[in-house]
Amino acid sequence: MGQPVVSRGHAATPTLGKAMLNKYARAFFTRVLTPFAAFLIRRGVSPDTVTLIGTAGVVAGALVFYPVGEFFWGTVVITLFVFSDLVDGNMARQLGRSSRWGAFLDSTLDRVADGAIFGGFILWYAGGGDDLVLCAVSIFCLASGQVVSYTKARGESIGLPVAVNGLVERAERLVISLVAAGLAGLHAFGVPGIQYLLPVALWIVAVGSLVTLIQRVVTVRRESAEAEAAQDGQDTQDHGDEQRNASHGSEAAT
């Protein structure tokens, strides 16, 4: 988890569905969902449409159920729409499409889904959950998650590899939070003490996200220094070559 995977024909951060399903489960569900993906293609449905519907379902599950404390059912709804991440990629492969736009759309809507999930936690703890500390922790989880993703994207945009596997990347943040939320929701069915799993999970995600952010910033700083040192060395070598060429030209003229 946390490693780049192929999404819509391009390397991308793991989507919500890929984060929640291990490689063996993905292989099974890919086989199961292939006929459904083919059916959607025949009906003229595009992979982008499936991506949009899946994100809308995740947002609805998070912002309708979580703010009122219905963590079990909210997680069930989110999990159902997780499969759209597998369907749209399956459709793209069947269509033979490798789209930069598709990869961009996936990554952008992933941020929307993340914001909705942690936004749901924020609304609960600011309202019926009545816990300002956990509300603040949830806000930190939301903000740090966005910044962690931004650091990698920004580092790569300036030509750096950002070669680091952070302690808690997007896949880990989502799996920890959603599994904990779903289990915490069992408290409504009479399971005692299990509601404390979500607060513990949020603290773990918050601390892990902070560590990951520091790891990425340190990595970008190191890679930037190495790139600049290599460039300075190349410039020095080029300057020396120019001087030697000029010297040889003067000797030839005499």
Catalytic residues: 110
Asked if residue 53 lies in contact with residue 61, where contact means CB atoms within 8 angstroms, the answer is no
Q: Which residues of 146-173 are buried (b: 16+ CB within 10 A; e: fewer)?
A: ebbbebbeebeeeebebebebbbbbbbb
* 9/14 Cα distance (integer angstroms): 13
* 230/37 Cα distance (integer angstroms): 48
Q: Given CA atoms 101, 102, 105, 106 in this order, what sign does their dihedral have?
A: negative
Long-range CB contacts (within 8 A, 24+) of 166-169: 166/2, 166/211, 166/212, 166/213, 166/215, 166/216, 167/208, 167/211, 167/212, 167/215, 168/204, 168/205, 168/208, 168/209, 168/211, 168/212, 169/1, 169/2, 169/13, 169/212
